[in-house]
Amino acid sequence: MKWPNGSQVRLFGTLNRQDIERLRAGGNRCLVWAEELATWRQLDEAWKHMMLGLRIGPNPRVIGTTTPKPRPEYVKIRLQA
């Protein structure tokens, strides 16, 4: 989807290695909305690739919405917030 000002929405998944690679290679971003973050497969790797694609603007942001789960990978990310 594209807005009149040129902003775009792009959807990415984390089901397999190719999906995770697209988080980095799928374009530059200034905002990421990570839905159900605690349930992502290969969360560590997906998070790293997502953060590499988050590189537009002076203060890129991540919004994470999820049902909390005690996964070590999720807890580590949460503690960095």
**Domain of 62, in residue numbers:** 17-80
By the 8 A CB rule, do 56 and 31 touch?
Answer: no
What pLDDT, on a 0 to 100 scale, did the predictor assign at position 45? 92
Tens of pLDDT, residue by residue over 45-71, are 999 999 998 989 999 999 999 998 888
**Is residue 77 within a helix (H) or strand (E), and if so which, with residue range?**
helix 72-80
Looking at the DSSP bridge assignments, the partners of residue 32 are 62
pLDDT of residue 7: 86
12-40 pLDDT, tens digit per residue, is: 888 888 888 888 887 788 999 999 989 98
Residue 23: inside a domain, yes or no?
yes
- Cα–Cα nearest to 38, from 16, 71, 76: 71
Decide if 68 is inside a domain.
yes
Closest among 75, 17, 73 to 44, alpha carbons compared: 73
Q: For residue 11, is it within any domain?
A: no
- Asked whether residue 39 is domain-assigned, the answer is yes
pLDDT band at 43 (very low <50, low <70, confident <90, very high): very high
**What are φ and ψ of residue 33, in 5° steps?**
-110, 110
If one counts the domains in the chain, the total is 1
| pLDDT the model gives residue 15 | 86
State pTM to two decimals. 0.81
